Amino acid sequence: MSRKDRLEDCVITMKSIVDKGSSETETAVKIILFLFRKIFHYNYLCTSYYFMDLKTLKDTATQVRRDIVRMVHGCQSGHPGGSLGCTDFLVALYFHTMKHNPSFSMDAKGEDVFFLSNGHISPVFYSVLARSGYFPVSELASFRKLNSRLQGHPATHEHLPGVRIASGSLGQGLSVACGAATAKKLNNDNRFVYSLHGDGELQEGQNWEAIMFAAHHKLDNIIATIDYNGQQIDGPVSKVMGLDSIKEKFTAFGWDVLEMDGNDMEAVVNTLALAQTHAGKGKPVCIVMKTEMGKGVDFMEGTHEWHGIAPNDAQLAQALAQLPETLGDY
Ligand SMILES: Cc1ncc(C[n+]2csc(CCOP(=O)(O)OP(=O)(O)O)c2C)c(N)n1
Ligand SMILES: [Mg+2]
């Protein structure tokens, strides 16, 4: 990201802080904290915003949800449902848990890496990457447009910083995570490999080969999360091809399994921290993450209908009324 882009991003955020109409002292404190984060974040390879409190993480998630519905509305296509459901997880991961560097390098030596396997939820991924400093927030406006780096499904040939795999075709992310985890072990790099997968995506057979591989090779540096929203493109997962207990299946395959409410920021932060303590003990770690598809926009919640359609103008207004601007719109 160029210095000019960073400056523009800072201006957008500071304008939003000032516009909030808080007291002068409160506004000054927020600006100082914001600048501190920016400087700290851009200059050091760090556990990015490890000092971010829960309120700031929740505010960030609200802004990311705004970004998601605006992006999908802007091009009248895309996947808001899963994106909204996984927002808290991705915000916690990028703004709290992972040690990562927005001055992106494909190798990620000494860094944590994340692979989005359910690539259709690209709106949340792109928003979190932009808001972490990988590329300008203003670029979110180009989502799914011709010649944009932000294609509907992430792809490496677009050279978008932060994207390490193409993931439109479901079922492949865990295999890549196994490769990266093996490479990290061979290189004595003790950072983690995180991945995210849909529950419907688990119907793809390649996953189960990777699940066996990871356990057999004791890839205990993998923390794979399943977005257990119970929905997929055609309806409830239980009706399309049920999974029964994901926990029991992964346990039977030799994984260590944790469960969490993926729409409770505190639970997400704490469970990710717990997962790190489970790692390194000879078993890969799976987090079964219960989420609500469409979380944060009432008329999108609890149904597969919003898996992959865009809101119209009136629906956008209705959605945005439920998601206050917290960091500044792009
Ligand atoms: C290999 C492959 N098969 C089918 C699809 C079409 N497809 C896109 S999203 C989706 C549903 C996936 O369900 P889930 O992983 O639960 O995602 P959610 O609907 O919860 O976001 C399907 C079948 C695809 N992208 N790739
Ligand atoms: Mg699902």
Task: Give the per-residue pLDDT at 38.
Answer: 60
The residue whose C-alpha atom lies closest to atom 10 belonging to ligand 1 is: 233
113 neighbors 103 (Cβ within 8 angstroms): no
- pLDDT tens digits for range 157-178: 999 999 999 998 999 999 999 9
- pLDDT tens digits for range 179-215: 999 999 999 999 999 999 999 999 999 999 999 999 9
The residue whose C-alpha atom lies closest to atom 9 belonging to ligand 1 is: 233
Task: Give the per-residue pLDDT at 31.
Answer: 72
- Is the pLDDT at 10 greater than 90? The verdict is no
pTM to 2 decimal places: 0.89
How many structural domains comprise the chain?
1
CA of 133 from ligand 2 middle (Å) equals: 28
The residue whose C-alpha atom lies closest to atom 15 belonging to ligand 1 is: 198
* Domain housing 158: 45-320
Q: How confident is the model at residue 52 (pLDDT cuts 50, 70, 90)?
A: confident
The residue whose C-alpha atom lies closest to atom 19 belonging to ligand 1 is: 232
- Is the pLDDT at 217 greater than 80? The verdict is yes
In a domain, 116, yes or no: yes
111: number of Cβ within 10 Å: 18
Higher pLDDT, 179 or 15: 179
CA of 170 from ligand 1 middle (Å) equals: 6
For residue 276 the two structure tokens come to 């790190």
Largest pairwise CA distance in the chain: 58
Task: Give the per-residue pLDDT at 15.
Answer: 66
% of the chain with per-residue pLDDT over 90: 83
In a domain, 35, yes or no: no
In a domain, 269, yes or no: yes
- pLDDT tens digits for range 233-247: 999 999 999 999 999
Task: Give the per-residue pLDDT at 45.
Answer: 40
Cα–Cα dist 238/107, whole Å = 39
In a domain, 19, yes or no: no
- Is the pLDDT at 60 greater than 70? The verdict is yes
In a domain, 99, yes or no: yes
- Is the pLDDT at 72 greater than 80? The verdict is yes
Q: Is the dihedral of CA 43, 46, 48, 52 positive or negative?
A: negative
What CATH number does residue 84 fall under? 3.40.50.970
Cα–Cα dist 106/162, whole Å = 8
Task: Give the per-residue pLDDT at 199.
Answer: 98
Task: Give the per-residue pLDDT at 49.
Answer: 47
Mutate to test the pocket of ligand 1, among 118, 167, 170, 227 (most ligand atoms within 8 A of CB): 170
Q: How confident is the model at residue 317 (pLDDT cuts 50, 70, 90)?
A: very high
Mean pLDDT, the chain, integer:
91
Instruction: Show the ligand 1 pocket: residues with CB < 6 angstroms.
Output: 81-82, 118, 120-121, 168-171, 198-201, 204, 227, 229, 231-233, 293, 307
In a domain, 327, yes or no: no
- Is the pLDDT at 285 greater than 90? The verdict is yes
